[in-house]
Amino acid sequence: MGNETETRERLLEVAKQEFLELGYEKASMRKICKKAGVTTGALYFFFKDKNDLFAALVKEVADEIKMIIVHHTQKEQTIYEDAKTTPQAIIADGIEQGRDFVTYMYANKDAFMLLLTKANGSSYENFYDELVDLMEKNTLQFLDHITLEYGKENEIKPYTMHWLAHLETSSFAQLLTHGLTLEEALIQAEVIAKYLTGGWLEILKK
Amino acid sequence: MGNETETRERLLEVAKQEFLELGYEKASMRKICKKAGVTTGALYFFFKDKNDLFAALVKEVADEIKMIIVHHTQKEQTIYEDAKTTPQAIIADGIEQGRDFVTYMYANKDAFMLLLTKANGSSYENFYDELVDLMEKNTLQFLDHITLEYGKENEIKPYTMHWLAHLETSSFAQLLTHGLTLEEALIQAEVIAKYLTGGWLEILKK
Amino acid sequence: MGNETETRERLLEVAKQEFLELGYEKASMRKICKKAGVTTGALYFFFKDKNDLFAALVKEVADEIKMIIVHHTQKEQTIYEDAKTTPQAIIADGIEQGRDFVTYMYANKDAFMLLLTKANGSSYENFYDELVDLMEKNTLQFLDHITLEYGKENEIKPYTMHWLAHLETSSFAQLLTHGLTLEEALIQAEVIAKYLTGGWLEILKK
Amino acid sequence: MGNETETRERLLEVAKQEFLELGYEKASMRKICKKAGVTTGALYFFFKDKNDLFAALVKEVADEIKMIIVHHTQKEQTIYEDAKTTPQAIIADGIEQGRDFVTYMYANKDAFMLLLTKANGSSYENFYDELVDLMEKNTLQFLDHITLEYGKENEIKPYTMHWLAHLETSSFAQLLTHGLTLEEALIQAEVIAKYLTGGWLEILKK
DNA sequence: GATGAATGAGGGTTCATTCAT
DNA sequence: AATGAATGAACCCTCATTCAT
């Protein structure tokens, strides 16, 4: 009947709708089966449990975005190490990172919606926090660099760093969860960059 | 047996622990009864349903913090209207509001934890969003004032306002949810105020 | 506060509404108490249990209507025994009985509604059947008389008698349960009498 | 284990006994499971809820009897329209209908018992009334015919028609609920026909 | 690849009633 | 005459998952 892996795809599609609509916990495996026109046995042939089903919708994207952030952190590291780097270059790079992040997010809209707002109860319920942690390393690097340049009169506490990472992460995440289009989001990303830069300058002032 | 209304208190205490540990949805009425050494009937004598039990832990605080914000917004309105008001006065007031908010939050730590992170599924699941909305009105008022003074070359979009309200609200909320002590939080609140002010200045620049 | 027996009256009134609306089984003692502004303890001071509460609304009427029927049966007995009784007299008496029944029913509308349609689960759930049984005795007497006069060529089976008692009883009961006014009901009672008489004549025919 | 769909049958059988004994509302799903030697989950695999279980015992019969009545009404319509139809033919047809009804009822005894006396609380609680309504249409048709033939000196009120439909329906229904055998019931059906015809003649008299 | 019957613990909630005060 | 806290069994139903076929 040409079913082959078609069943799997159908299950994934239906599951995505259910998870998006109800969230991980309230979504029902039985209802997913029913809507996909498939028996529970079939579902459990393809996916070992509820979490595995959710992961199948989300894993690839979750892994890749983390890699993207890590890569960016590494790349920034080299920029900082370059003696000839100007402040403008750093800012420009930050803006570019924002654009990349937003673009990737929007290219994988559904997966990000699941990860950011519908994963409660699943093994991805801490995805957002993990993102923040990665962002934090990014920011810490920046701070170290700044401190070298400007001296350490202004002590920035660890918590502050964590909070700023939150600020940045959630600012980007909200673009998607609040329903902006990609075009709107890219424009807004610039505003975010501007605002956060202004904030930094203020707290770094002596 | 010295029970009197002691049972109700015991139920509330146990329920608070359960909700804090598991969240509204995963908390079990039966488990709460068992831990409180009480039959289900007793619980349902005091509280009409699960949501009512949750509300009993949270309603007062939820109502009051909203009033506090509203009152502050009104007070700020009068400050803006005063011709002799200086920018310093406005900033000082913002800082004071932050202190008030944080202090009240910490004085009602458990209730705020429930409201901010454990209310999903209950009638308070939108509490955080409501807070943001109130904050937004606050910020909008500020923007109107600024626009009058500095002209309107820089158009701030509605979404930006909403985002900033989020930024501020979550910044305060996280102080609690991340486990800072009151002393740490109050210090951090100043950092937040500084940072957010810097951000504002940046995006208001021509 | 002048409460005295006022509480009892209030409970009875509220209970009547509840039973009428929901029926005996679905009515809730707690809700009755709440609506009456009284605690359960108070209710159980006046009425020993749910059935007792229902009975208090209904007993008097239930007893009296039975007596009325019995009395009528006895009175009819004497009519039959009277050698000078004409068939017209018998029919006239039957019509009068109908009128009495209907009038009494309407004078105690609520109680009859409870007894006829809302008593399921209570000790009065067989009230209607008891009424039928009493009616049946009435009808049997009539049959005996008829048989003496006209001979016994037409055998009327016991079940037929029971059925006819049902017919008559339900015909009257429905006047009330279908919402006719007293005036309409009295008119309709004549139609019933006519119809039932016609039926009798038909099955008594040789 | 030879279970196959045997479980479903066993559940239906047990449920039928429970419903017959206790009625829809007082019957307990748990008890039905226990008696059938099955877990609640199994029951809910076959039937979506209590009402669905009841319906499975009753739906087919409920639908068919209504169709039978409707069909008969249509057939009677053609009889009336036939110029050569004699009053005897009409009466004969009425009697035949009675026989058909009773025969079908007894062929589905349990289902009818459930529908007529045990359905309270289920979606079939108005089944009897629906039957009466169908019967009423039947009777109205008859009245229209009669009126054409005999003139309209005797006004029969709408309520009277409704009442007569009740009379007829309950007369048939009681044959079953009062425990008559099929043979007894068929004989009694003739008595009913006779009686009701006599009643009609009486109220149609000028 | 897929079926579908079955598990069994658990969910929140309602109930009539009791009894010490 | 009345309070109101407390009982505890029972209610219908949902869940993710398993496994013989």
Q: Which of C17, C4, C16, C14 is CA-nearest to residue C45?
A: C4
User: Are the Cβ atoms of C159 and D188 closer than 8 angstroms?
Assistant: yes
> To the nearest 5 percent, what fractions of chain C are helix, strand and coil?
80, 0, 20
B150-161 pLDDT, tens digit each: 666 567 888 999
Which segment of C90-94, C196-200, D41-45 scores lowest on mean pLDDT? C90-94
User: A44 and A116 in one domain?
Assistant: no
Digit-coded pLDDT (tens) for D85-103? 887 888 888 888 889 999 9
Return all residues near A65 (Cβ < 8 A) that are at least 6 apart. A101, A104, A105, A112, A131
Residue D5 Cβ < 7 Å to strand E: yes
Residues 10-49 of D with CB under 7 A from strand E: 38-42, 44-46
> What tokens appear for B146 in the block?
């600024």
What average pLDDT score do residues B48-55 get?
96
- Check if the beta carbon of residue D116 is closer than 8 Å to that of residue D54: no
The residue among A57, A122, C171, A50 whose CA lies nearest residue D171 is C171
Cβ atoms of A66 and A129 closer than 8 Å: no
Tell me, yes or no, whether A24 and A114 share the same domain.
Answer: no
Is the pLDDT assigned to residue D138 strictly greater than 50? yes
Residue nearest to nucleotide F15 (CA to C1'): A28
Residues of B in Cβ contact (< 8 Å) with A198? 198-203
Indicate whether C182 and C109 sit together in one domain. Answer: yes
- Closest alpha carbon within chain B to A164: B171
Q: Between these two residues, B32 and A4, which has the higher pLDDT value?
A: B32
Higher pLDDT, A22 or C76: A22
Residue indicated by tokens 């629906």: D130
| Half-sphere exposure in the Cβ direction for A30 (13 Å, CA) | 4
**C1 lies in a domain?**
no
d(CA A119, CA A122) in angstroms, rounded, equals 5
The gap between C8 CA and E20 C1' (Å) is: 23
Q: Is residue A109 part of a domain?
A: yes
- For strand E, which residues in window 7-46 of chain C come within 7 Å by CB? 26-31, 40-41, 44
- Give the closest residue to E11 (Cα–C1′): B28
Distance C41 CA to E19 C1' (A): 9
- D64 with D104, same domain: the answer is yes
Q: Please, what is the average pLDDT of chain C?
A: 89
Q: Does B91 touch chain A (CB under 8 A)?
A: no
Report CB contact under 8 Å: C188, D160: yes
B contact test, residue of A159, A166, A196 with most B CBs within 10 A = A159
Contact A198 B201 (CB under 8 A): yes
* Mean pLDDT of the region B68-97: 85
The residue whose CA lies nearest the C1' of nucleotide E1 is A42
Query: Are C86 and C134 members of one domain?
Result: yes
Q: Are D110 and D60 in contact (CB under 8 A)?
A: no
Average pLDDT over every residue of B26-49: 94
F19 C1': nearest CA residue: A41
Encoding tokens for residue A103?
């673009």
Q: How many CB atoms lie within 10 A of CB B85?
A: 14
In a domain, D131, yes or no: yes
- On whether any CB of chain A is under 8 Å from the CB of B200, the answer is yes
In this predicted model, what pLDDT tens digit does every residue of A47-69 receive, in sequence order? Answer: 999 999 999 999 999 999 999 99
pLDDT at residue A92 in the model: 84
In this structure, is the dihedral angle defined by the CA atoms of residues D174, D179, D182 and D187, taken in order, positive or negative?
negative
Taking the Cβ of residue C71 and every Cβ of chain D, the question of whether any pair is shorter than 8 Å is answered with no
A1 within domain boundaries? no
**Long-range contacts of residues D41-48, Cβ cutoff 8 Å, at least 24 apart:** D42/D7, D42/D11, D43/D11, D46/D7, D46/D8, D46/D11, D47/D11
Tell me how many domains chain C contains: 2
**B192-196, C90-94, D37-41: which range is least confident on average?**
C90-94
Contacts of A202 in chain B (CB under 8 A): 194-195, 197-199, 201
Rg of chain D on CA atoms, in Å: 21
Position D2 pLDDT exceeds 60: no
DSSP-derived secondary structure for D27-44? --HHHHHHHHT--HHHHH
Q: Is residue A76 part of a domain?
A: yes
The reported pLDDT for the residue numbered B2 is 42
Query: Alpha-carbon dihedral of residues D152, D153, D154, D159, nearest 10 degrees?
Result: 50
> For the residues C35-41, what does the mean pLDDT come to?
92
Statement: the CB of C56 is under 7 Å from strand E: no
C76 and C65 belong to one structural domain: yes
- In three-state secondary structure terms, D158 is helix
pLDDT at A150: 67
Same domain, D152 and D169: yes
Domain boundary among B20, B39, B55: B55
Same domain, A94 and A142: yes
Residue C121 placed within a domain: yes
Place of tokens 């209950």: B122
* Residues of D whose CB is below 8 A from C180: 159
Asked if residue D197 belongs to a domain, the reply is: yes
Whether residues B83 and B21 share a domain: the answer is no
B55, B81, B96 - which closes a domain = B55
Determine the distance in angstroms separating the CA of B96 from the nearest CA of chain A, rounded to an integer.
18
**What is the C-alpha to C-alpha distance for residues A164 and A142, in angstroms, rounded to an integer?**
12
| Structural contact between residues C123 and C49, judged by C-beta atoms closer than 8 angstroms | no
Residue D154, number of CB atoms within 10 A of its CB? 12
Provide the pLDDT confidence category of residue A183 given band limits of 50, 70 and 90.
very high
Per-residue model confidence as pLDDT tens digits over C163-172: 999 999 999 9
Number of Cβ within 10 Å of residue A43's Cβ equals 22
Q: Which of A37, A55, A73 is the last residue of a domain?
A: A55
Name every chain C residue with its beta carbon within 8 A of the beta carbon of D191: 157, 160, 203
Cβ distance of C198 and D194 shorter than 8 Å? no
**Which pLDDT value is given to residue A153?**
59
Please state, as a whole number, how many other Cβ atoms lie within 10 Å of the Cβ of residue A34.
13
Protein CA C28 to sugar C1' E16 (Å): 9
Tokens of B180: 């800072």
C187/E17 CA-to-C1' distance in Å: 47
pLDDT tier for residue A90 given thresholds of 50, 70 and 90? confident
Residue A6 confidence class, pLDDT cut points 50, 70, 90 = confident
Interface of D with C in 131-170 (CB under 8 A): 157, 159-160, 162-164, 166-167, 170
Q: What CATH code is carried by the domain that includes residue B18?
A: 1.10.10.60
Q: Is position C109 within any domain?
A: yes
- Measure the CA–CA gap between B79 and B81, rounded to whole angstroms: 5
Q: Do C187 and C118 share a structural domain? A: yes
Interatomic separation, CA of residue B47 and C1' of nucleotide E21, rounded (Å): 23
A144 and A186 inside one domain: yes
C and D: number of Cβ contacts within 8 A: 77
CB B19 within 8 A of CB B54: yes
Please state the rounded mean pLDDT for residues C72-87: 82
Contacts of D196 in chain C (CB under 8 A): 199
A17 and A63 co-located in one domain = no
Query: Residue C38 CA to nucleotide F3 C1', Å?
Result: 9
CA of C37 to C1' of E18 (A): 20
Confidence band for B142, pLDDT divided at 50, 70 and 90: confident
Q: What is the mean pLDDT of residues B172-180?
A: 95
Who contacts A50 (Cβ-Cβ below 8 Å, separation ≥6)?
Answer: A24, A27, A29, A122
Q: How far apart are CA D177 and CA D110, in angstroms?
A: 10
B30 C-beta less than 7 Å away from strand E: yes
Helical residues (DSSP H) of chain B, grouped into ranges: 6-26, 29-36, 40-46, 50-56, 59-81, 87-107, 109-117, 127-150, 158-177, 182-204
What value does the mean pLDDT take over residues A6-18? 93
Per-residue flag: B126 CB under 7 A of strand E: no
Which sign does the torsion angle of CA B153, B159, B163, B169 carry?
positive
Buried (b) or exposed (e) across B46-65, using 16+ Cβ within 10 A? bbeebeebbbbbbeebbeeb
> What is the domain range of residue B111?
59-204
Partner D contacted by C200 (CB < 8 A): yes
The predicted-structure confidence for D52-66, as pLDDT tens digits, reads as follows: 999 999 999 999 999
With touching defined as 3 or more inter-chain CB pairs under 8 Å, the answer for chains D and B is no
Long-range contacts of A198-201 (CB under 8 A, 24+ apart): A198/B198, A198/B199, A198/B200, A198/B201, A198/B202, A198/B203, A199/A164, A199/A167, A199/B195, A199/B196, A199/B198, A199/B199, A199/B202, A200/A164, A200/B195, A200/B198, A201/B198, A201/B202
pLDDT reading at D1 higher than 50: no
- Mutation target to probe the A interface, by most A beta carbons within 10 A, among B116, B126, B159 is B159
